[in-house]
Structure 1
Protein backbone atom coordinates (compact mmCIF):
# COMPACT_ATOMS: atom_id res chain seq x y z
CA UNK A 1 0.00 0.00 0.00
CA UNK A 2 2.83 2.38 0.93
CA UNK A 3 4.50 1.65 -2.42
CA UNK A 4 1.26 2.35 -4.29
CA UNK A 5 0.87 5.72 -2.56
CA UNK A 6 4.46 6.56 -3.44
CA UNK A 7 3.93 5.72 -7.10
CA UNK A 8 0.70 7.77 -7.26
CA UNK A 9 2.43 10.76 -5.65
CA UNK A 10 5.35 10.52 -8.09
CA UNK A 11 2.97 10.36 -11.05
CA UNK A 12 1.08 13.42 -9.79
CA UNK A 13 4.27 15.42 -9.39
CA UNK A 14 5.39 14.38 -12.87
CA UNK A 15 2.09 15.51 -14.40
CA UNK A 16 2.32 18.86 -12.63
CA UNK A 17 5.90 19.31 -13.81
CA UNK A 18 4.96 18.45 -17.39
CA UNK A 19 1.98 20.79 -17.20
CA UNK A 20 4.13 23.62 -15.89
CA UNK A 21 6.76 22.99 -18.56
CA UNK A 22 4.14 22.92 -21.32
CA UNK A 23 2.53 26.07 -19.96
CA UNK A 24 5.89 27.83 -19.81
CA UNK A 25 6.67 26.79 -23.39
CA UNK A 26 3.26 28.03 -24.54
CA UNK A 27 3.75 31.36 -22.79
CA UNK A 28 7.25 31.70 -24.26
CA UNK A 29 5.89 31.01 -27.76
CA UNK A 30 3.25 33.69 -27.30
CA UNK A 31 5.86 36.12 -26.03
CA UNK A 32 8.08 35.41 -29.05
CA UNK A 33 5.26 35.90 -31.56
CA UNK A 34 5.88 39.27 -33.13
CA UNK A 35 3.14 41.86 -33.31
CA UNK A 36 3.35 43.89 -36.53
CA UNK A 37 2.08 47.45 -36.80
CA UNK A 38 1.88 47.67 -40.61
CA UNK A 39 1.11 45.56 -43.67
CA UNK A 40 2.89 45.93 -47.01
CA UNK A 41 0.88 44.80 -50.05
CA UNK A 42 3.12 42.67 -52.26
CA UNK A 43 1.87 42.15 -55.82
CA UNK A 44 2.98 38.92 -57.45
CA UNK A 45 2.60 36.49 -60.31
CA UNK A 46 3.98 32.96 -60.09
CA UNK A 47 7.67 32.85 -61.05
CA UNK A 48 9.48 29.96 -59.44
CA UNK A 49 12.05 30.13 -57.82
CA UNK A 50 11.52 33.87 -57.31
CA UNK A 51 7.95 33.98 -56.02
CA UNK A 52 5.40 31.17 -55.80
CA UNK A 53 2.75 29.61 -53.57
CA UNK A 54 3.45 26.11 -52.36
CA UNK A 55 2.67 24.04 -49.26
CA UNK A 56 0.08 26.62 -48.23
CA UNK A 57 2.55 29.51 -48.03
CA UNK A 58 4.34 32.09 -50.18
CA UNK A 59 7.94 31.22 -50.95
CA UNK A 60 10.82 32.22 -53.20
CA UNK A 61 13.98 34.31 -53.37
CA UNK A 62 12.21 37.64 -53.85
CA UNK A 63 9.61 36.91 -51.16
CA UNK A 64 12.13 35.92 -48.51
CA UNK A 65 14.44 38.88 -49.13
CA UNK A 66 11.61 41.40 -48.85
CA UNK A 67 10.10 39.68 -45.81
CA UNK A 68 13.45 40.05 -44.05
CA UNK A 69 13.66 43.74 -44.94
CA UNK A 70 10.01 44.37 -44.02
CA UNK A 71 10.58 42.82 -40.62
CA UNK A 72 13.05 45.62 -39.84
CA UNK A 73 10.17 48.09 -40.25
CA UNK A 74 7.87 45.90 -38.14
CA UNK A 75 5.80 45.13 -41.25
CA UNK A 76 4.25 41.92 -42.50
CA UNK A 77 3.47 41.11 -46.15
CA UNK A 78 0.03 40.71 -47.69
CA UNK A 79 0.07 39.05 -51.12
CA UNK A 80 -2.03 39.99 -54.15
CA UNK A 81 -1.78 37.77 -57.25
CA UNK A 82 -2.42 39.28 -60.69
CA UNK A 83 -0.76 39.47 -64.11
CA UNK A 84 2.33 41.68 -64.38
CA UNK A 85 0.60 44.31 -66.50
CA UNK A 86 -2.27 44.53 -63.99
CA UNK A 87 0.17 44.82 -61.09
CA UNK A 88 1.99 47.71 -62.76
CA UNK A 89 -1.33 49.54 -63.02
CA UNK A 90 -2.04 48.82 -59.34
CA UNK A 91 1.35 50.18 -58.28
CA UNK A 92 0.72 53.32 -60.30
CA UNK A 93 -2.69 53.71 -58.63
CA UNK A 94 -1.32 53.00 -55.15
CA UNK A 95 -3.37 49.81 -54.72
CA UNK A 96 -0.21 47.70 -54.40
CA UNK A 97 2.81 48.82 -52.37
CA UNK A 98 5.59 46.80 -53.97
CA UNK A 99 6.59 44.52 -56.85
CA UNK A 100 9.75 42.42 -57.03
CA UNK A 101 12.16 41.74 -59.87
CA UNK A 102 11.45 45.05 -61.64
CA UNK A 103 13.81 46.87 -63.98
CA UNK A 104 14.00 50.62 -63.28
CA UNK A 105 12.90 52.59 -66.35
CA UNK A 106 12.17 56.28 -66.84
CA UNK A 107 8.50 55.50 -67.47
CA UNK A 108 8.16 53.56 -64.23
CA UNK A 109 10.11 56.10 -62.19
CA UNK A 110 7.25 58.54 -62.76
CA UNK A 111 5.01 56.59 -60.38
CA UNK A 112 7.41 54.34 -58.44
CA UNK A 113 10.59 54.42 -56.39
CA UNK A 114 13.17 51.66 -56.74
CA UNK A 115 15.30 49.95 -54.14
CA UNK A 116 18.97 49.21 -54.57
CA UNK A 117 19.27 46.48 -57.26
CA UNK A 118 19.50 43.14 -55.47
CA UNK A 119 20.01 40.54 -58.22
CA UNK A 120 20.56 40.18 -61.95
CA UNK A 121 18.15 38.71 -64.46
CA UNK A 122 18.82 37.50 -68.00
CA UNK A 123 16.61 36.08 -70.76
CA UNK A 124 16.93 33.15 -73.14
CA UNK A 125 14.92 32.29 -76.24
CA UNK A 126 13.25 28.88 -75.87
CA UNK A 127 12.24 27.22 -79.14
CA UNK A 128 10.62 23.92 -80.22
CA UNK A 129 12.92 20.91 -80.13
CA UNK A 130 12.38 20.31 -83.85
CA UNK A 131 13.20 23.91 -84.81
CA UNK A 132 15.92 24.30 -87.43
CA UNK A 133 17.00 27.71 -86.14
CA UNK A 134 20.65 27.65 -85.00
CA UNK A 135 21.48 31.36 -84.80
CA UNK A 136 22.48 33.36 -81.75
CA UNK A 137 20.72 36.70 -82.24
CA UNK A 138 17.14 37.76 -81.68
CA UNK A 139 16.95 39.94 -84.79
CA UNK A 140 18.12 36.99 -86.90
CA UNK A 141 15.29 34.87 -85.46
CA UNK A 142 12.81 37.63 -86.23
CA UNK A 143 14.18 38.16 -89.75
CA UNK A 144 12.81 34.73 -90.70
CA UNK A 145 9.33 35.89 -89.72
CA UNK A 146 9.29 33.96 -86.45
CA UNK A 147 7.02 35.29 -83.71
CA UNK A 148 8.24 35.57 -80.11
CA UNK A 149 6.10 35.06 -77.03
CA UNK A 150 6.64 37.61 -74.27
CA UNK A 151 4.94 38.53 -71.00
CA UNK A 152 2.97 41.77 -71.39
CA UNK A 153 4.45 44.64 -69.40
CA UNK A 154 7.90 43.06 -68.95
CA UNK A 155 11.00 45.08 -69.75
CA UNK A 156 13.59 42.95 -71.55
CA UNK A 157 16.28 45.60 -71.97
CA UNK A 158 17.00 48.37 -74.46
CA UNK A 159 18.04 46.08 -77.33
CA UNK A 160 14.83 44.03 -77.16
CA UNK A 161 12.77 47.17 -76.62
CA UNK A 162 14.12 48.59 -79.88
CA UNK A 163 13.12 45.42 -81.72
CA UNK A 164 9.63 45.60 -80.20
CA UNK A 165 9.26 49.10 -81.63
CA UNK A 166 10.87 48.28 -84.98
CA UNK A 167 8.59 48.92 -87.93
CA UNK A 168 9.32 45.47 -89.36
CA UNK A 169 9.46 43.37 -86.18
CA UNK A 170 6.94 44.89 -83.76
CA UNK A 171 4.09 42.73 -85.08
CA UNK A 172 6.12 39.58 -84.38
CA UNK A 173 5.99 39.94 -80.59
CA UNK A 174 3.04 38.11 -79.04
CA UNK A 175 2.14 39.32 -75.56
CA UNK A 176 0.57 37.07 -72.90
CA UNK A 177 -0.51 37.52 -69.30
CA UNK A 178 2.12 35.01 -68.10
CA UNK A 179 5.27 33.31 -69.38
CA UNK A 180 3.50 29.99 -68.99
CA UNK A 181 0.86 31.15 -71.48
CA UNK A 182 3.66 32.06 -73.91
CA UNK A 183 4.91 28.46 -73.85
CA UNK A 184 1.44 27.30 -74.81
CA UNK A 185 1.42 29.83 -77.66
CA UNK A 186 4.48 28.04 -79.06
CA UNK A 187 2.90 24.62 -78.55
CA UNK A 188 -0.24 25.73 -80.42
CA UNK A 189 1.72 27.39 -83.24
CA UNK A 190 0.91 31.00 -82.35
CA UNK A 191 4.61 31.80 -81.73
CA UNK A 192 7.95 30.33 -82.74
CA UNK A 193 9.73 30.89 -79.44
CA UNK A 194 9.50 32.29 -75.91
CA UNK A 195 11.79 34.90 -74.36
CA UNK A 196 12.03 34.15 -70.64
CA UNK A 197 14.36 33.95 -67.65
CA UNK A 198 16.19 30.60 -68.10
CA UNK A 199 15.56 29.36 -64.54
CA UNK A 200 11.85 30.09 -64.87
CA UNK A 201 11.70 28.64 -68.37
CA UNK A 202 13.22 25.34 -67.29
CA UNK A 203 10.80 25.11 -64.39
CA UNK A 204 7.77 25.73 -66.63
CA UNK A 205 8.89 23.06 -69.10
CA UNK A 206 9.45 20.51 -66.35
CA UNK A 207 6.17 21.24 -64.58
CA UNK A 208 4.10 21.19 -67.78
CA UNK A 209 5.78 18.17 -69.33
CA UNK A 210 7.37 20.15 -72.16
CA UNK A 211 11.01 19.09 -71.74
CA UNK A 212 10.85 16.92 -74.85
CA UNK A 213 9.02 19.58 -76.86
CA UNK A 214 11.10 22.70 -76.09
CA UNK A 215 14.79 23.58 -75.78
CA UNK A 216 17.03 26.55 -75.05
CA UNK A 217 18.46 28.26 -78.11
CA UNK A 218 21.78 30.12 -78.33
CA UNK A 219 19.94 33.45 -78.22
CA UNK A 220 20.53 35.19 -74.90
CA UNK A 221 19.83 38.68 -73.62
CA UNK A 222 22.58 39.88 -71.23
CA UNK A 223 21.81 40.08 -67.53
CA UNK A 224 20.33 43.29 -66.18
CA UNK A 225 19.93 44.38 -62.57
CA UNK A 226 16.46 44.25 -61.02
CA UNK A 227 15.06 45.95 -57.92
CA UNK A 228 11.97 46.21 -55.75
CA UNK A 229 9.49 48.72 -57.08
CA UNK A 230 7.53 50.78 -54.52
CA UNK A 231 4.42 52.83 -55.31
CA UNK A 232 4.82 56.57 -54.80
CA UNK A 233 1.14 56.69 -53.82
CA UNK A 234 1.58 54.24 -50.93
CA UNK A 235 0.33 55.52 -47.58
CA UNK A 236 3.28 53.81 -45.86
CA UNK A 237 6.12 56.02 -47.11
CA UNK A 238 7.88 56.07 -43.75
CA UNK A 239 7.89 52.29 -43.50
CA UNK A 240 8.99 51.90 -47.11
CA UNK A 241 11.96 54.18 -46.47
CA UNK A 242 13.09 51.87 -43.65
CA UNK A 243 12.64 48.82 -45.87
CA UNK A 244 14.62 50.38 -48.72
CA UNK A 245 17.47 51.30 -46.36
CA UNK A 246 17.51 47.75 -45.01
CA UNK A 247 17.61 46.32 -48.55
CA UNK A 248 20.55 48.54 -49.38
CA UNK A 249 22.37 47.32 -46.27
CA UNK A 250 21.57 43.68 -47.11
CA UNK A 251 23.00 44.10 -50.62
CA UNK A 252 26.11 45.88 -49.33
CA UNK A 253 26.77 43.15 -46.77
CA UNK A 254 26.15 40.30 -49.25
CA UNK A 255 23.21 39.03 -47.20
CA UNK A 256 21.08 38.64 -50.32
CA UNK A 257 23.40 35.95 -51.69
CA UNK A 258 22.36 33.39 -49.07
CA UNK A 259 18.71 33.65 -50.17
CA UNK A 260 19.68 33.14 -53.82
CA UNK A 261 22.03 30.25 -52.96
CA UNK A 262 19.32 28.40 -51.03
CA UNK A 263 17.32 27.92 -54.26
CA UNK A 264 20.19 26.82 -56.46
Structure 2
Protein backbone atom coordinates (compact mmCIF):
# COMPACT_ATOMS: atom_id res chain seq x y z
CA UNK A 1 0.00 0.00 0.00
CA UNK A 2 1.53 3.11 0.19
CA UNK A 3 3.75 5.79 -0.22
CA UNK A 4 5.38 8.19 -2.61
CA UNK A 5 8.19 10.53 -1.51
CA UNK A 6 6.90 14.13 -1.36
CA UNK A 7 7.54 17.01 1.03
CA UNK A 8 5.26 19.87 2.16
CA UNK A 9 4.37 21.72 5.32
CA UNK A 10 1.36 20.91 7.54
CA UNK A 11 -1.75 23.00 6.83
CA UNK A 12 -4.92 23.23 8.93
CA UNK A 13 -8.19 23.73 7.09
CA UNK A 14 -11.76 24.04 8.27
CA UNK A 15 -12.69 20.47 7.47
CA UNK A 16 -9.85 18.95 9.47
CA UNK A 17 -7.79 19.50 12.58
CA UNK A 18 -4.03 19.88 12.73
CA UNK A 19 -2.09 16.64 13.18
CA UNK A 20 -2.78 15.22 16.64
CA UNK A 21 -0.04 14.85 19.17
CA UNK A 22 1.59 11.48 19.23
CA UNK A 23 -0.27 9.03 21.45
CA UNK A 24 0.75 5.71 22.90
CA UNK A 25 -1.76 3.12 24.04
CA UNK A 26 -0.94 -0.21 25.64
CA UNK A 27 -3.20 -3.24 25.35
CA UNK A 28 -2.53 -6.85 26.24
CA UNK A 29 -4.00 -9.74 24.33
CA UNK A 30 -5.58 -12.53 26.39
CA UNK A 31 -2.65 -14.79 25.62
CA UNK A 32 -0.19 -12.14 26.75
CA UNK A 33 -2.02 -11.60 30.01
CA UNK A 34 -1.77 -15.28 30.78
CA UNK A 35 1.76 -15.81 29.51
CA UNK A 36 4.94 -15.12 31.42
CA UNK A 37 6.74 -13.43 28.53
CA UNK A 38 7.36 -9.85 29.71
CA UNK A 39 9.93 -9.33 26.94
CA UNK A 40 7.43 -10.16 24.18
CA UNK A 41 5.99 -6.72 23.41
CA UNK A 42 5.76 -5.15 19.95
CA UNK A 43 5.02 -1.48 19.30
CA UNK A 44 3.09 -0.77 16.09
CA UNK A 45 2.98 2.65 14.44
CA UNK A 46 -0.42 3.63 13.06
CA UNK A 47 -1.69 6.67 11.20
CA UNK A 48 -5.32 7.72 10.82
CA UNK A 49 -6.53 5.43 8.04
CA UNK A 50 -10.05 4.31 8.85
CA UNK A 51 -11.33 1.58 8.48
CA UNK A 52 -7.93 -0.12 8.51
CA UNK A 53 -6.33 1.62 11.50
CA UNK A 54 -7.47 4.49 13.69
CA UNK A 55 -8.04 5.61 17.29
CA UNK A 56 -11.59 5.57 18.67
CA UNK A 57 -13.13 8.42 20.65
CA UNK A 58 -12.08 6.66 23.85
CA UNK A 59 -8.48 6.47 22.60
CA UNK A 60 -8.44 2.78 21.67
CA UNK A 61 -6.81 1.41 18.50
CA UNK A 62 -9.34 -0.12 16.11
CA UNK A 63 -9.77 -1.22 12.52
CA UNK A 64 -9.24 -4.18 10.22
CA UNK A 65 -5.43 -4.05 10.39
CA UNK A 66 -5.52 -3.73 14.17
CA UNK A 67 -7.76 -6.76 14.59
CA UNK A 68 -5.55 -8.86 12.32
CA UNK A 69 -2.42 -7.90 14.26
CA UNK A 70 -4.11 -8.56 17.60
CA UNK A 71 -5.09 -12.00 16.38
CA UNK A 72 -1.54 -12.77 15.27
CA UNK A 73 -0.02 -11.51 18.53
CA UNK A 74 -2.52 -13.57 20.46
CA UNK A 75 -1.14 -16.64 18.71
CA UNK A 76 2.37 -15.47 19.60
CA UNK A 77 1.50 -14.64 23.21
CA UNK A 78 2.77 -11.06 22.89
CA UNK A 79 1.75 -7.65 24.19
CA UNK A 80 0.44 -5.06 21.73
CA UNK A 81 1.22 -1.33 21.92
CA UNK A 82 0.63 1.43 19.40
CA UNK A 83 2.19 4.79 18.61
CA UNK A 84 0.11 7.19 16.54
CA UNK A 85 1.57 9.69 14.09
CA UNK A 86 1.63 10.76 10.46
CA UNK A 87 3.00 8.30 7.90
CA UNK A 88 6.15 10.40 7.45
CA UNK A 89 6.79 10.48 11.19
CA UNK A 90 6.25 6.74 11.55
CA UNK A 91 8.73 5.90 8.80
CA UNK A 92 11.39 7.95 10.56
CA UNK A 93 10.62 6.23 13.86
CA UNK A 94 10.77 2.84 12.19
CA UNK A 95 14.20 3.59 10.72
CA UNK A 96 15.45 4.60 14.19
CA UNK A 97 13.90 1.59 15.92
CA UNK A 98 11.57 3.82 17.98
CA UNK A 99 8.62 1.76 16.74
CA UNK A 100 8.93 -1.94 15.94
CA UNK A 101 6.52 -2.07 13.03
CA UNK A 102 4.30 -0.01 10.75
CA UNK A 103 1.00 -1.26 9.37
CA UNK A 104 -0.35 -1.05 5.84
CA UNK A 105 2.89 -0.75 3.88
CA UNK A 106 3.91 -1.39 0.29
CA UNK A 107 7.18 -3.17 -0.38
CA UNK A 108 9.83 -1.11 -2.15
CA UNK A 109 13.56 -1.53 -2.71
CA UNK A 110 14.32 1.58 -0.65
CA UNK A 111 12.30 0.36 2.33
CA UNK A 112 13.94 -3.05 2.23
CA UNK A 113 17.20 -1.30 3.13
CA UNK A 114 15.87 -0.51 6.63
CA UNK A 115 12.85 -2.77 7.16
CA UNK A 116 11.83 -6.42 7.08
CA UNK A 117 8.46 -7.26 5.54
CA UNK A 118 5.80 -9.66 6.72
CA UNK A 119 3.91 -11.90 4.35
CA UNK A 120 1.19 -10.00 2.51
CA UNK A 121 -1.90 -9.76 4.72
CA UNK A 122 -4.39 -7.95 2.47
CA UNK A 123 -4.71 -5.99 -0.78
CA UNK A 124 -5.50 -2.37 -1.50
CA UNK A 125 -6.73 -0.41 -4.51
CA UNK A 126 -6.41 3.34 -4.99
CA UNK A 127 -9.17 5.16 -6.84
CA UNK A 128 -9.61 8.65 -8.24
CA UNK A 129 -12.13 10.83 -6.37
CA UNK A 130 -13.54 14.01 -7.91
CA UNK A 131 -16.18 16.62 -7.20
CA UNK A 132 -19.65 15.40 -8.12
CA UNK A 133 -19.84 17.98 -10.92
CA UNK A 134 -16.81 16.33 -12.58
CA UNK A 135 -17.91 12.72 -12.26
CA UNK A 136 -18.17 12.46 -16.07
CA UNK A 137 -14.53 13.24 -16.75
CA UNK A 138 -13.96 11.36 -20.06
CA UNK A 139 -10.60 9.85 -19.09
CA UNK A 140 -9.92 6.13 -19.02
CA UNK A 141 -6.76 6.18 -16.92
CA UNK A 142 -4.69 8.42 -14.67
CA UNK A 143 -2.24 9.22 -17.47
CA UNK A 144 -5.00 10.73 -19.61
CA UNK A 145 -6.24 12.67 -16.56
CA UNK A 146 -2.79 14.21 -16.07
CA UNK A 147 -2.28 14.86 -19.77
CA UNK A 148 -5.42 17.01 -19.62
CA UNK A 149 -3.64 19.19 -17.04
CA UNK A 150 -5.66 18.31 -13.96
CA UNK A 151 -4.10 18.68 -10.51
CA UNK A 152 -4.02 15.53 -8.39
CA UNK A 153 -3.92 15.28 -4.59
CA UNK A 154 -1.71 12.55 -3.14
CA UNK A 155 -0.39 11.81 0.35
CA UNK A 156 3.24 12.36 1.28
CA UNK A 157 5.32 9.16 1.47
CA UNK A 158 2.53 6.96 0.08
CA UNK A 159 3.59 4.48 -2.56
CA UNK A 160 1.06 4.08 -5.35
CA UNK A 161 2.92 1.53 -7.47
CA UNK A 162 5.70 1.47 -10.04
CA UNK A 163 3.56 2.76 -12.92
CA UNK A 164 2.42 5.75 -10.89
CA UNK A 165 5.99 6.42 -9.72
CA UNK A 166 7.02 6.69 -13.37
CA UNK A 167 4.32 9.33 -13.92
CA UNK A 168 5.52 11.25 -10.88
CA UNK A 169 9.06 11.25 -12.24
CA UNK A 170 7.84 12.79 -15.49
CA UNK A 171 8.84 16.47 -15.34
CA UNK A 172 5.80 17.45 -17.39
CA UNK A 173 3.44 16.06 -14.78
CA UNK A 174 5.32 16.96 -11.59
CA UNK A 175 3.65 20.40 -11.12
CA UNK A 176 0.27 18.63 -11.14
CA UNK A 177 0.97 16.52 -8.04
CA UNK A 178 -0.09 18.21 -4.80
CA UNK A 179 1.07 16.49 -1.61
CA UNK A 180 -0.60 16.40 1.79
CA UNK A 181 0.18 14.79 5.15
CA UNK A 182 -3.27 13.17 5.43
CA UNK A 183 -6.22 12.45 3.14
CA UNK A 184 -8.53 14.94 4.88
CA UNK A 185 -6.38 17.80 3.61
CA UNK A 186 -6.77 16.58 0.04
CA UNK A 187 -10.53 16.37 0.54
CA UNK A 188 -10.63 19.97 1.78
CA UNK A 189 -8.55 21.11 -1.20
CA UNK A 190 -10.83 19.26 -3.60
CA UNK A 191 -13.88 21.00 -2.17
CA UNK A 192 -12.07 24.35 -2.36
CA UNK A 193 -11.17 23.61 -6.02
CA UNK A 194 -7.44 23.80 -5.33
CA UNK A 195 -7.09 20.36 -6.90
CA UNK A 196 -9.24 18.52 -9.43
CA UNK A 197 -9.09 15.05 -7.93
CA UNK A 198 -7.38 12.91 -5.32
CA UNK A 199 -6.19 9.33 -5.02
CA UNK A 200 -7.23 7.26 -2.02
CA UNK A 201 -7.91 3.67 -1.06
CA UNK A 202 -11.56 3.04 -1.88
CA UNK A 203 -12.44 1.73 1.60
CA UNK A 204 -10.68 4.65 3.31
CA UNK A 205 -12.23 7.33 1.11
CA UNK A 206 -15.72 5.89 1.54
CA UNK A 207 -15.27 5.87 5.32
CA UNK A 208 -14.00 9.48 5.49
CA UNK A 209 -16.65 10.87 3.15
CA UNK A 210 -19.46 9.05 4.96
CA UNK A 211 -18.22 10.18 8.39
CA UNK A 212 -17.93 13.82 7.27
CA UNK A 213 -21.20 13.82 5.34
CA UNK A 214 -19.41 14.64 2.08
CA UNK A 215 -20.36 11.61 0.01
CA UNK A 216 -22.90 13.72 -1.92
CA UNK A 217 -20.24 16.19 -3.00
CA UNK A 218 -17.25 13.94 -3.74
CA UNK A 219 -17.64 10.77 -5.79
CA UNK A 220 -15.40 7.93 -6.99
CA UNK A 221 -14.46 8.17 -10.66
CA UNK A 222 -14.06 5.02 -12.74
CA UNK A 223 -10.28 5.52 -12.84
CA UNK A 224 -8.39 3.31 -10.40
CA UNK A 225 -4.89 1.96 -9.99
CA UNK A 226 -4.12 -1.74 -9.98
CA UNK A 227 -4.65 -3.54 -6.68
CA UNK A 228 -1.48 -4.37 -4.76
CA UNK A 229 -0.36 -6.47 -1.82
CA UNK A 230 -0.05 -4.84 1.59
CA UNK A 231 2.56 -5.79 4.20
CA UNK A 232 3.69 -4.94 7.72
CA UNK A 233 7.13 -3.33 7.90
CA UNK A 234 9.38 -4.29 10.81
CA UNK A 235 12.31 -2.18 11.94
CA UNK A 236 15.71 -3.76 11.34
CA UNK A 237 16.93 -1.78 14.36
CA UNK A 238 14.61 -3.45 16.88
CA UNK A 239 13.25 -6.64 15.31
CA UNK A 240 15.08 -9.81 14.26
CA UNK A 241 14.30 -11.95 11.18
CA UNK A 242 13.30 -14.72 13.59
CA UNK A 243 10.61 -12.49 15.11
CA UNK A 244 9.28 -11.67 11.65
CA UNK A 245 9.17 -15.39 10.89
CA UNK A 246 7.23 -15.97 14.13
CA UNK A 247 4.77 -13.24 13.10
CA UNK A 248 4.28 -14.85 9.69
CA UNK A 249 3.63 -18.19 11.39
CA UNK A 250 1.00 -16.52 13.57
CA UNK A 251 -0.56 -14.94 10.48
CA UNK A 252 -0.77 -18.33 8.80
CA UNK A 253 -2.44 -19.78 11.89
CA UNK A 254 -4.96 -16.92 11.90
CA UNK A 255 -5.89 -17.74 8.30
CA UNK A 256 -6.04 -21.50 8.84
CA UNK A 257 -8.28 -21.35 11.91
CA UNK A 258 -10.84 -19.14 10.15
CA UNK A 259 -10.39 -16.04 12.32
CA UNK A 260 -8.79 -14.07 9.47
CA UNK A 261 -11.84 -14.49 7.22
CA UNK A 262 -14.16 -13.51 10.07
CA UNK A 263 -12.27 -10.23 10.52
CA UNK A 264 -12.16 -9.40 6.82
CA UNK A 265 -15.83 -10.28 6.28
CA UNK A 266 -16.84 -7.97 9.12
CA UNK A 267 -15.27 -5.01 7.31
CA UNK A 268 -16.56 -6.03 3.89
CA UNK A 269 -20.19 -5.29 4.73
TM-score category (smaller protein): 0.7 to 0.9
1: distance between equivalents of 2:228 and 2:256? Answer: 18
Deviation at 1:236, TM superposition (A): 6.3
Instruction: Report the Cα offset of residue 240 of structure 1.
Output: 4.1
Deviations for 1:169-190, whole angstroms, at most 9, x for unmatched residues?
A: 1221111111111111211222
Residue aligning to 2:9: none
Deviations 1:235-262 (A, max 9, x none): 5665444223212443466642221111
> What is the rounded CA distance, in whole Å, between the counterparts of 1:248 and 1:32 in structure 2?
19
Larger radius of gyration: 1
Residues 68/214 of structure 1: CA separation in 2 closer, same or farther (3 Å cut): same
Aligned-partner Cα distance in 2 for 1:229–1:101: 8
Instruction: List runs of 5+ in structure 2 lacking aligned partners.
Output: 1-29
- Aligned in 2, Cα 1:165/1:147: closer, same or farther, shift over 3 Å? same
1:154 correspondence with 2:158 = yes
User: Of 106, 112, 116, which aligns to 1:103?
Assistant: 106
Once the two structures are superposed, the pairs formed by residues 32-43 of structure 1 within 5 Å of their partners are 33-35=33-35, 37=38, 38-43=40-45
Q: 1:78 to 1:106 in 2, by over 3 A?
A: same
Counterpart selection for 1:221 from 217, 220, 225 = 225
Q: How many residues align?
A: 235
- CA displacement 1:125-170 (0-9 Å, x = unmatched): 0001111513221011111211111111111111111111111112
Who is 1:65 aligned against? 68
Structure 1's unaligned 5+ residue stretches are 1-29
CA RMSD of aligned residues (A): 2.2
Runs of 4+ in 1 over 6 A off after TM superposition: none
TM-score by length of 1: 0.82
Give me the whole-angstrom Cα distance separating, in 2, the residues matched to 1:201 and 1:153: 18
The alignment's TM-score, normalised by the length of structure 2, stands at 0.81
Give the whole-Å Cα distance in 2 for the aligned partners of 1:75 and 1:32.
Answer: 5
